[in-house]
Chains A and B, each alone.
Chain A
Amino acid sequence: MKWLLKHKIIGVILVLLYASLSVFFTYRLDDYTLTLKGDLTPVKTEILETDRSHFYTIYVVSMDKPTLFQYVLAMFTDTIDISKLPDAYRGMSAMDQFKMGQIAEEISYQYATIQAYTKAKLIDSSIEIDYTPLGYMVSFVEKGQTGIRLGDILVEVEGVSHLDVPQHEFFGYFSNQNSVMVKVLRDGNLVTLSLNKLTTIDRYGIRLEPYFDIETTPNIGTTYGNDFIGGPSGGMIQTLDIYMKLLNIDLKDLKIAGTGTIELDGSIGEIGGIEQKIYTAYDHDVDLFLCAAANYDAALAVYEKLNNPSFTLIKVGDIDEAIQSILTRLP
């Protein structure tokens, strides 16, 4: 310290350098989000005791509000994507984002189970699935919408049960009125709430997904809730995993990764972070990579840049196409 006081100019330079570095490491850019490479995770379903993992979902890491240092580092790294943080996600807590991911993953497993069992039943009549709608699960709540919570199951709007009217008519109550009375299932209890349209966006700012009570033969077990990974992007791969396990199809040593959501009609939906998912697959010893048709062009652009990739990139539009694309490539 005495030395610094003696050499004032060097002292001032060091203090300025220290202050600059501190700002560089701590100032956060609220408008941006970074998407980074993640990892492969085996699909977490158990149907038969001897099941082996052939199917892998790919997760990417999203980091909102990077520091200046992280932003600059991302600018010089090809595998990191910088994008603007969507307005709806601003101000959302990390816990809410985690919950959203978990809900999306739970719903994804539900749809995957329904699709896989329904398709497999066409081949093996001993396979059974019975699913009854419980309501519509709240999978997103816009900032400012109070009362309703993530994970609530909407069962009634304006005194009309979800079982009595089709989905479009049920949701119509929301678009036609500025305020609605709803009943939701929360922790097993029925709760009555009054919801108001958000004036800033002229919407209620909630997303609802059909939610089911499912019974299957053979029974299916999942362990997806034990980690920090969430989201709907593994839907297609989960469906394929369940389908192949149900029909006991021998996939030899194939290691299959992929990405795309599964919808109730069997179509495969678009996902985010496709470039980083391709880079992640490249880092692992994958044989096939199944990609949703909507993401294919972006995926192909990255794939063509890779040096001798181990996997084949396959474009799939719906689950039937995905099943066929694997069966025709069996060794």
Chain B
Amino acid sequence: MKRFKASLHDYLEARKTYRILTNTWSIKKNITYVLQTTGLALMIMLLPALLVINLLVFVSYIKVWIVYGALIGYGFIHLSYVFQTYYIKDYSNDHEFVKIRRLFKLYTYTYGALWFGLVYTLYMIFGGYIV
């Protein structure tokens, strides 16, 4: 329990540090940050997404593509936080960076789990209509 509380404390502290850090940035800086992290991840994952869309018609077994679609979505989440981690490195000291990196890992796993959960739930609901 103590360990969990300590971890939670660390995560909350890292979140606070990260927020303070980004709040001090100008709008231009914030836009650059978004473009070089989320934007870049989106750009990279766009190619496999386009590949899947192009191949859809050749393999009519749609369930295969749902798995690829889910992986592409997770790839975007993962890359986005990888880029954020590297970006934030230059703006935080070592102690802060270690904690923020852990926080981003937690975000990656949490959002990843939520994404796969969402895809699976939608598949359970609408899967019957897919051949």
- A171 near B: Cβ within 8 Å? no
Interface CB pairs A-B, < 8 A, 10:
A18-B43, A18-B47, A21-B50, A22-B46, A22-B47, A25-B47, A25-B50, A36-B58, A61-B57, A69-B54
Point out the residue from A1, A25, A36 that lies within 8 Å of B57, measured CB to CB: A36
Q: How many residues of A contact B (CB 8 A)?
A: 17
Please list the residues of chain A having a beta carbon within 8 angstroms of any beta carbon in chain B: 1, 18, 21-22, 25-26, 34, 36, 38-39, 61, 63, 67, 69-70, 73, 80
B92: shortest Cβ distance to chain A, in Å? Answer: 16
A256: shortest Cβ distance to chain B, in Å? Answer: 22
The answer to whether A73 and B50 touch (CB under 8 A), given A1-B36, A1-B40, A18-B43, is no
| Secondary structure dominating the interface of B | helix
Cross-chain contact B40 with A25 (CB below 8 angstroms): no
* Alpha-carbon distance A21/B54, docked complex (angstroms): 12
A57: shortest Cβ distance to chain B, in Å? Answer: 16
- B60 near A: Cβ within 8 Å? yes
Q: Which of B33-61 contact A (CB under 8 A)?
A: 36, 40, 43, 46-47, 50-51, 53-54, 57-58, 60
* Alpha-carbon distance A25/B58, docked complex (angstroms): 14
How many CB-defined contacts (below 8 Å) exist between A and B? Answer: 33
* Alpha-carbon distance A135/B43, docked complex (angstroms): 55
* Alpha-carbon distance A53/B44, docked complex (angstroms): 48
Cross-chain contact B50 with A26 (CB below 8 angstroms): yes
* Alpha-carbon distance A39/B62, docked complex (angstroms): 14
Cross-chain contact A25 with B54 (CB below 8 angstroms): yes
Point out the residue from B46, B51, B54, B60 that lies within 8 Å of A39, measured CB to CB: B60
* B50 cross-chain contacts in A, Cβ below 8 A: 21-22, 25-26
Closest B residue by C-beta to A228: B131
* A34 cross-chain contacts in B, Cβ below 8 A: 57
* Alpha-carbon distance A36/B54, docked complex (angstroms): 14
Q: Which of B63-117 contact A (CB under 8 A)?
A: 83
* A80 cross-chain contacts in B, Cβ below 8 A: 58
Cross-chain contact A25 with B43 (CB below 8 angstroms): no
* Alpha-carbon distance A202/B46, docked complex (angstroms): 47
* A18 cross-chain contacts in B, Cβ below 8 A: 43, 47
Cross-chain contact B58 with A73 (CB below 8 angstroms): yes
Smallest CB-CB A-B distances: 8 pairs? A25-B50, A1-B36, A69-B54, A63-B57, A25-B54, A70-B54, A67-B54, A21-B47
* B53 cross-chain contacts in A, Cβ below 8 A: 25
* B51 cross-chain contacts in A, Cβ below 8 A: 25, 69
* B43 cross-chain contacts in A, Cβ below 8 A: 18
* A26 cross-chain contacts in B, Cβ below 8 A: 50
Closest B residue by C-beta to A61: B57
